[in-house]
Amino acid sequence: MALSTEQALALLLILNSAHLTAADCRPLDRVAVSGSAGGRAVLPCSYTPTPGQHVEVRWYAYSDQGDHILLIASKTPSARISAQWSGRVKLSDEVSSGNASLLISELRLEDTRYYTCDVWINGICVTHRNVNLTVQGHLKRDSTTATTQKTSPCPTQQGNAAAQRRSYCMKPL
């Protein structure tokens, strides 16, 4: 049974959409960011904006045990933020333009950990970025230094199984 050109294109479109929906948005890289205690750091995250689409950005922080904490979500920016980050985290004002970066001010040594940024457009995860923030013990030196490493899609610490679970997008609530 031969397909017409229109049928073949429709089938290709359906298969491509199914792939995007089924994909768990694995990152291709991870970013290392460093900052100094008392300073600030920008955790980079971006996506290609699509006009007229519903966009949701969520930033998570991970403990050494692999548990995640929702830091901030664009859908509910005024939602209660964990006391550890209250008053210190801010989502970019340019989310609608594709900048989903997170600013953490008044850095503390305990802010050293893995973070993830998930960007959803119409319920489909389009961006998942792992960011490893390292806070140094020096005072008041701002840093937005980021390096991109083309490495494994999931940050791991001594083979920590919990770290392996970080490599997928969290479903929006």
Residue 151, pLDDT score: 33
Its pTM stands at 0.68
Going by their DSSP bridges, the two strands 124-136 and 30-36 should be labelled as parallel
Tell me which amino acid residue 77 is. Answer: P
Question: Please, are residues 61 and 115 in contact by the beta-carbon 8 Å criterion?
Answer: yes
What is the mean pLDDT for each group of 10 consecutive residues in the chain (173 residues)?
55 38 59 96 93 92 89 82 88 93 96 95 92 82 47 36 43 46
**Are 143 and 43 in contact, with CB atoms under 8 Å apart?**
no
